[in-house]
Structure 1
Amino acid sequence: MIANIARAGLLIAALAVAGCSESSINDFSPKNKGLPEKILTEMKAKGMTRASPIMARVFKEEGKVEIWKQKTNGRYDIIAAYDICKWSGKLGPKFVEGDRQAPEGFYSVRPSQMNPNSSYHLSFNIGYPNTYDRANGRTGSNLMVHGACSSSGCYSMTDAQIEEIYAFGRDAFQGGQTEFQIQAFPFRMTAANMARYRNDPNYQFWAMLKEGYDHFEITKVPPKVDVCEKRYVFNRIPEGTAAFNATGACPAFTQPEGLQSAYQAYQTKYEAAFASASKSSAEAPKPTFAGIKEAAIVSEWTKKRARGERVPIEPPSLNHDGTVTVTERMGRIDSPEGRRMAALEAEQAAKKKAAEEKAAAVAAAKAAKAAAQLPVVTTAAVPTPSPTAAETQAAEAAPAEQVAAGSALKKRLLGLFGS
């Protein structure tokens, strides 16, 4: 049955691919880079060819990028896993340009999206916004998987990692694959993890992604992805001449019977595990994005930062209770615009200081001038009068009189004591 599902999945996937030219394949290729011998040996052991198709899965919470490759039986198996060096934002989808969220959803990469001349060593555009994003009014551009270990909304790898991922893509394109699928998830969509986030505002979005996740877990074949009624649908074949309209009603469809029965059995086990996990004390959930309101706040911060204004070093964060967390430390992005603004600010500060010093000097000069113009007040000396002749004669006679009086007193005392 699984083999039939795999073949049906391959047929479905074939309906979605688009053509590409040999020149576009060769143009992006880093021709001097190849896969390590260890990976080539493992590929052979798993029944893969070097040029067989690939698929990628991204798990934010775990910080992993997985590369899956098709085996000779049509099913896919994992061949490599890499630790994401950096990704920005929180768990949750991207909403608007500048919200610094790394996208979540189902995306496709074609040769034209590969950039070997990237300023981030090597990069490829994941295809955001896709049909689902556009149907829901989500905006943004240049969302990449790239090297250089630096991110503002992308999934950033080390240079060595992106070289290997590039080599996987190059070999698959040269083998005839016209696009490969990237499935970007907040976490592995197990019953335990879904139970952890069952009260999160993003839960309904994640539950929608989980159907595609489950289809791959069952079939090990990338699901056919379409959008109708502004939501993802998976492995549906419209009846007759009907077609999918991203914003219109979903058309009547069929699915392979084997896939339907396998999915129902999978869901039965999942629901029992989810109920059990909901009752147990699980690991606490990580911070998640609070939707379009937080997107607007962060986007405004990004605009100010791009203009070179001084902003908090980290983007503001909207908490689920409605409060906003802002870091105290301020800074300015080191960019041409930021440096221009910093130079302008320094020039204005220098002018202000010069004006203050000039004003202080003028005030000091005025004070000195005012002090110099005050009248000088002088006090005349009072002459000491000269003594008269009588006063001088009396002063000179006073000592003699004092001596005579002393002698008389001495004589009287000697007479009294008979000596």
Structure 2
Amino acid sequence: MRRLLALFVACGAFAWLALQYPPQIPAPKPDLRSPRTGIGEIRAYQTPKLRAAMAEADLHLGAPTYIRIFKEEKILELWLQSEAGPYALFRTYPICNHSGALGPKLKEGDRQSPEGFYRVDKAALNPNSSYHLSFNLGFPNAYDRAKGRTGSYLMVHGDCVSVGCYAMTDPMIEEIYVTVEAALNAGQPFVPVHAFPFRPTEARMARAAGHPWESYWQSLAPAYGTFEQSRRPPHISVQRDRYIVSPAS
């Protein structure tokens, strides 16, 4: 009888624990790596696919390109200039991984993904990256340096691993990389990459009231608003330690 009672108590305790701490079912691992190796093979595979997809949207590979990142939503938007002039959204990609919280990167080793306005030129491309493919955002930019911020090798890359970068899956970085490379090869001097903490709409900024980074985020908001109105990436400059945003000429 005592053994039955002990068993009953033990089973009851186990059931209570099961309700409090349900068993964790591991998510299936995504296919993060592409079977393609080498930039030549990647270009050969992605170029015809991208051309066909862009043609359906009345866009073309090699058109001026613009990238927006929204950290809170974990998405990367890839925009291309249309024949009419304004930019059109080609694709939205989920960011596989980024590190840190909302707020800018401040110093080397803080594992924060940057927020701000960056430029990617040909020198920033790395087809031989250990993370499948990558391009350097150019952190710290002039604004970051004026604020004394430090860091290096902040990139958009593949392999879904981040210690401060914006990491994509390998198939996604292939599309993004080949698109950026084509735009630069066609004569675009640099591809602007604007990394926002979130979409700085009036409603979202109201929710950020009182946050330690509220004033910094307010300095990023005009670039978002200017593009939303014109669908052309604004001109960004730095005067002393301030971003200056003006409409594209």
TM-score range, shorter chain: 0.7 to 0.9
SS in 1 for 2:77: strand
For 1:113 and 1:212, how far apart are their aligned partners in 2?
A: 23
Unaligned stretches of 5+ in structure 2?
1-37
Normalising to structure 1: TM-score of the pair?
Answer: 0.48
Match status 1:164 vs 2:175: yes
Match status 1:97 vs 2:108: yes
Could you tell me how far 1:38 is from its partner in structure 2? Answer: 6.0
Other-structure match for 2:165 = 154
Match status 1:192 vs 2:203: yes
- Equivalent residues of 1:30, 1:166 under 8 A apart: no
Q: 1:180 aligns with which of 191, 194, 203?
A: 191
- Equivalent residues of 2:64, 2:183 under 8 A apart: yes
Other-structure match for 2:144 = 133
SS in 1 for 2:128: coil
Higher strand share: 2
Could you tell me how far 1:69 is from its partner in structure 2? Answer: 0.3
1:199-238 alignment runs, 5 A limit: 199-235=210-246
For 2:98 and 2:60, how far apart are their aligned partners in 1?
A: 31
For 1:228 and 1:50, how far apart are their aligned partners in 2?
A: 34
Match status 1:71 vs 2:82: yes
Other-structure match for 1:261 = none
Could you tell me how far 1:173 is from its partner in structure 2? Answer: 1.6
- Equivalent residues of 1:136, 1:230 under 8 A apart: yes
Other-structure match for 1:334 = none
Equivalent pairs, count: 210
Higher relative contact order (CA 8 A, sep 6+): 2
1:294-309 alignment runs, 5 A limit: none
Could you tell me how far 1:37 is from its partner in structure 2? Answer: 5.7
SS in 2 for 1:108: strand
For 1:122 and 1:229, how far apart are their aligned partners in 2?
A: 34
Higher helix share: 1
1:16-165 alignment runs, 5 A limit: 30-34=39-43, 35=46, 39-165=50-176
Aligned residues with identical type, % of pairs: 47
Other-structure match for 2:20 = none
Could you tell me how far 1:225 is from its partner in structure 2? Answer: 0.6
Other-structure match for 2:31 = none
For 1:37 and 1:110, how far apart are their aligned partners in 2?
A: 23
Q: Which has the larger radius of gyration?
A: 1
Could you tell me how far 1:62 is from its partner in structure 2? Answer: 0.3
Unaligned stretches of 5+ in structure 1?
1-28, 237-254, 257-419
1:337-416 alignment runs, 5 A limit: none
